[in-house]
Amino acid sequence: MGNGADAGRQQGPQSPEQIRNVVLVGPAGVGKSTLFERLIAARVPGRHLRGEPAPSLSLGAASISSGDVSINLLDTPGNPDFVGEVRAGLRAADAVLFVVSASDEIDDATRLLWRECETTQMPRAIAVTKLEQSRADFDESMARCRRVFGDVQPVGVPLIEEGHVVGAINLLRRTVTDYRSGEPTLREPEEIEAAIIEEHWDPLIESIIEESEDETLLDRHLSGEPIDLDIVLPDLKAAIATGRFFPIIPAHAPTGMGIEGLFELFEHGFPSPASSPVPAVYTPAGRPFGAVTCDLDGPLVAEVVRTTSDPFVGRLSLVRVFSGTLSPDTALHVCGHLQQFAAHHVNGHADHDSDDERVGPLSAPLGEDARPKPSAIAGDLVLVSKLAAAETTDTLSSKARPALVEPWLLPEPLLPVALHATSRTDEEKLGSALQRLVAEDVTMRLEHNPETHQVVLWAMGPAHVDKLLNALLESWHIQVQVEPVRTSLRETFIRPITAQGRLVKQSGGHGQYAVCMMEIEPLARGAGFEFTERVVGGAVPRQFIPSVEKGIRSQLPKGVLAGYPLVDLRVTLVDGKAHSVDSSDMAFQTAGAMALRDAANESTVALLEPIDKVEITVGEDSVGAVLADLRGRRGQVHGTETAPDLPGYAVIHAEVPAHELSRYPIDLRSVSHGTGTFKRSFVRYDYMPAALAREVISA
C-alpha cells in the first residue's frame, strides 16, 4: 500500500472506480478534525499533525492518494447548529465514517443521523476514538454501537496498557502493530493476542458471509480452511455495500494507531462512485432529464456542495461531479431552483438560471490548501474558482443540455436574529455582504421585514449566528449590532362604536370643512376591511363618499393605537356635513382618518399577535419537560403521538404565539437534552393578553 502520491496520481483519477468519497460525521469533541488531519498527514509528505485542530465550523475537504485510489475525505462540524454542513457532506460522499468516543454514550443527534443514512442504505463504518481516556472501554463501546446501530463487527482491536495505547490487532490480517517503541512495528500476535483474534474471527467472517452471500467463502470457513485477506476483501466490500454490515475500528490519532486500517477500509471496503446511486436529475423546467450514470463521457451533471467567498478573492465552489468531465474554460449552465424542492420558504435563494458562466481554474482541496488539477471526472470532488452566479446546491451542466439536480434535505433555520450596522458606511455594505453569505449557506435565510423595518437573519442556532457575525467582521470588516426581533402585530376593534371625524379650518380665505359620522364594528379574523354607507338627504355629497373611504384606507396600515396595521373591521358612513366652498376631496379624506383615530382607545381596540402551529419531535423521556415549557410560553397543546418510523420519540402538536418562539431552538435543545427538533408555520392572528398589550403600547 503506497504512502504518497506519485507524479501520475497528481493528475487525478482516470476512472470513477479509482475514487472513494468518504465523509466523517459525529458529535463535537470526539476528535473528527484531529482524525481528518492525521489521515491527511499519513499520505501527504511533509505534512504533520500539530496539536489539536480547532473545532470545524464548516465542511472541510481533502483529496489524497492512497495505493491505487484517490480518496476525497470530508470533515463535518459536530455542533448541531451546522447540520446543513453535515447534509452537504453526505451529498458529496458515497460512504460515511461515524466517529464515536470510547468513553461516552452515543448521543441522540448521532442516532438520528444514523437512521437518516439507514433509509438510503448508505454504506457506513465506525471509528472509535478517545481510547486513552480513563472511562474508555472499547468492548463497551462496541456493545453500545450494536444496541444502537445493528450488526457492528470489529476489524481491529486496540491494545491498551495503563491508559496508554500501545498497539492494535488487525483481525483481517491476523497481525499486530506495536507502538511501544514510538514507531509502528508490525509483528506476529502473541498468545493472548491470538486468543483475541480467535474470539472475534468467527462472528466477523460469518457476518461478512451473511451479507455478501458468498457460498464459496462459507464452505471454506466451515471446513476450517485458512482465509487470506485477498479472499475476504471482495466479500467485505459487498457486505458493507448492503448498508447492513458495519465494521468498527479503533483509531488513535496521536500515535497513528488505526490510520492504516482506515485506509485499507476506504480502499477495499467502501464503494466507488460507479456503484453508488446518483441523485434525481431533472431539466430546469422540472421534466425528466433521462438516465444519468457515473460516466466520465456522459452529459455533464455536477452540484455545488459548498461555497466560500472573500471580498478580494471571490467565490470558491466545492463541486461534486456526478456525470461527465469538468474542464477549465468550459461554458456552463448554472441552475438553482431551491424553492421547487424545499419544504419551507427560502428567502434569499431566488430561482435562477445562467448561461454566462465558464469554468475557472480547478484545484484539488487539501484542508486549508489546494493543488492545481487539470480536470475532474464523474465521481470526483473539485474546487472551482470564479463561478460568480453559482450558489450552494446549484447544478452545473452544459449549455447544450441543462440539468437540475434535486438538492439534499435542507433543514429549516428557525432562530431569528435582527441586526443593523453600527455606521452609515457599514450599512451600505451590509446588504451585499449578507446576500453573499446567504448564497454560500442555504441554512441561512434573509428577511427584510417591511413592518418592523428590521433586517432579520434566520439561522440554525447561536453558534451559526456567531459564525456569521465573525465573517462579517473578519472578511467584510463590517461592525454590526444584534437587537431584539420585533413581532409584526395587528390592531383591531373589539366592539361596535360610533365615531365622528370633524375637520373645520376657516381662518380667512379658502378653508377646509368636512364632518363625517360613522359606525365601526369588528369582523371575524381574516375578514379584512369593508366600507359601506347609509347617507341620506345628501348630508355628505356623493362625490365625497369615496374620499371618506380613501382616507380610512390610508389610515389602516398606520394603525390607530400603537402603530400596527388595523384589520378586520367594517365602517359604515351614516351622516355628515359639507360646505359648499370649503369642502374638498382631501378634507373628507382627513376627516375619515380622524374619525378612525378618535374612536381608538384601550377599551375599543386590541392588539393581535401572530400564532404559529408547531410540531415538536422529541425523545419520550423529555415530553413532560417540553410540555411544561410550552405552558410557560402561552402555548396550547392539541395532542401528542408516537413518532412514526422513529422509535423512542414523540410528536407534540401545539399552537404558540410567534413572539414566544424567538429563542425556542436554543431553549428546546436545553429542555430536551438535545433530542428535540421542531417545525413552525403561521396559522392566524389572535388577541394578545391585555397586560402584554399595555407594555407594547407604552413602549
Q: What is the domain-level CATH number for residue 298?
A: 2.40.30.10
* Strand 152-154 relative to strand 246-250, pairing: parallel
Classify 553 as helix, strand or coil: helix
Q: Do 300 and 326 form a contact (C-beta atoms < 8 A)?
A: yes
Identify any residues that bridge with 637 across adjacent strands, giving them in sequence order. Answer: 654
Angle at which helices 191-212 and 229-241 cross, to 10°: 50
Cell 470526539 belongs to residue: 30
Q: What is the domain-level CATH number for residue 227?
A: 3.40.50.300
Q: Cα dist. 356→308, 334, 375 in Å?
A: 20, 8, 20
Q: What is the domain-level CATH number for residue 503?
A: 3.30.230.10
Q: Are residues 86 and 185 in the same domain?
A: yes
Q: Do 359 and 328 form a contact (C-beta atoms < 8 A)?
A: yes
Nearest CA to 206 out of 236, 229, 231, 226 is that of: 236
* pLDDT (0 to 100) of residue 55: 81
- Contacts of residue 624, defined as CB under 8 A and 6 or more positions apart, other chains included, come to none
Strand order in the sheet with 454-459: 445-449, 454-459, 415-421, 480-483
Q: Are residues 529 and 446 in the same domain?
A: no
Q: Are residues 268 and 323 in the same domain?
A: no
Nearest CA to 552 out of 584, 511, 508, 598 is that of: 598
- Contacts of residue 605, defined as CB under 8 A and 6 or more positions apart, other chains included, come to 491, 492, 493, 494, 560, 561, 566
Classify 67 as helix, strand or coil: coil
Taking residues 616-635, report their average pLDDT.
Answer: 95
Indicate the DSSP class of residue 410.
P
CA angle 692–414–418, rounded 5-degree value: 65
**What cell numbers appear for 83 in the block?**
447540520
What DSSP element (H or E) covers 240? Answer: helix 229-241
What is the percent of the chain with per-residue pLDDT over 90, rounded to a whole number? 72
* pLDDT (0 to 100) of residue 441: 87
* pLDDT (0 to 100) of residue 511: 85
Convert the pLDDT of each residue in 218-241 to its tens digit.
Answer: 888 888 888 888 888 899 999 999
Angle at which helices 32-43 and 259-268 cross, to 10°: 80
Q: Are residues 98 and 173 in the same domain?
A: yes
d(CA 316, CA 322): 19
Q: Are residues 519 and 501 in the same domain?
A: yes
* pLDDT (0 to 100) of residue 569: 97
Q: Are residues 575 and 657 in the same domain?
A: no
Report residue 494: phi and psi, to 5°: -110, -10
* pLDDT (0 to 100) of residue 697: 86
- Contacts of residue 165, defined as CB under 8 A and 6 or more positions apart, other chains included, come to 131, 132, 158, 159, 179, 252, 254, 255, 257
The beta strands (E) that lie in 311-444 are given as 314-323, 325-326, 331-336, 352-358, 362-366, 369-372, 376-377, 381-385, 395-397, 404-405, 415-421
Q: Are residues 501 and 464 in the same domain?
A: no
**What cell numbers appear for 640 in the block?**
401528542
Name residue 102's amino acid. Answer: A
Q: Are residues 155 and 304 in the same domain?
A: no
**What cell numbers appear for 305 in the block?**
456542495
Q: What is the DSSP string of 452-474?
A: TTEEEEEESSHHHHHHHHHHHHH
Residue 74 lies in a domain: yes
Range with the lowest mean pLDDT among 78-82, 224-228, 429-433, 639-643? 224-228
* pLDDT (0 to 100) of residue 227: 83
Name residue 580's amino acid. Answer: S
Report residue 312: phi and psi, to 5°: -105, -35
**pTM for this structure?**
0.88
Look up the domain containing 428 and give its range.
415-481
CA angle 396–279–210, rounded 5-degree value: 145
d(CA 3, CA 64): 10
- Contacts of residue 450, defined as CB under 8 A and 6 or more positions apart, other chains included, come to none
77 or 511, greater pLDDT? 77
Nearest CA to 263 out of 70, 33, 89, 12 is that of: 70
Q: Are residues 476 and 522 in the same domain?
A: no
Range with the lowest mean pLDDT among 23-27, 135-139, 408-412? 408-412
d(CA 89, CA 77): 10
Convert the pLDDT of each residue in 11-69 to its tens digit.
Answer: 679 999 999 999 999 999 999 999 999 999 999 988 877 667 778 889 999 999 998 99
Cell 393581535 belongs to residue: 608
d(CA 386, CA 383): 10
Residue 174 lies in a domain: yes
* pLDDT (0 to 100) of residue 344: 59
- SS3 of 129-159: the string is ECCCCCCCCHHHHHHHHHHHHCCEEECEEEE
- Contacts of residue 23, defined as CB under 8 A and 6 or more positions apart, other chains included, come to 73, 74, 75, 76, 89, 90, 92, 93, 95, 96, 97
Q: What is the domain-level CATH number for residue 685?
A: 3.30.70.240
Convert the pLDDT of each residue in 455-500 to its tens digit.
Answer: 999 999 999 999 999 999 988 899 999 999 999 999 999 999 999 9
Which string of b and e fits 277-309 if b means at least 16 CB within 10 Å?
Answer: ebeebbebeeeebeebebbbebbbbbbbbbbbb
d(CA 488, CA 563): 11
Q: What total number of domains does the chain contain?
A: 5
Q: Are residues 400 and 462 in the same domain?
A: no
- Residue 210 predicted with pLDDT over 80: yes
Residue 410 lies in a domain: no
Of 405, 439, 462, the position where a domain reaches its end is 405
d(CA 589, CA 304): 55
Q: Do 675 and 108 form a contact (C-beta atoms < 8 A)?
A: yes
Residue 624 lies in a domain: yes
* pLDDT (0 to 100) of residue 624: 95
Of 562, 580, 601, the position where a domain reaches its end is 601
Nearest CA to 379 out of 106, 82, 94 is that of: 94
Residue 26 lies in a domain: yes
Largest Cα–Cα distance in the chain?
A: 119
Q: Are residues 254 and 382 in the same domain?
A: no
Residue 333 lies in a domain: yes
Q: What is the domain-level CATH number for residue 465?
A: 3.30.70.870
d(CA 285, CA 278): 20
Q: Are residues 56 and 191 in the same domain?
A: yes
d(CA 177, CA 673): 40
Residue 4 lies in a domain: no
d(CA 67, CA 432): 46
d(CA 384, CA 70): 18
Of 586, 601, 616, the position where a domain reaches its end is 601
Residue 1 lies in a domain: no
d(CA 382, CA 362): 7
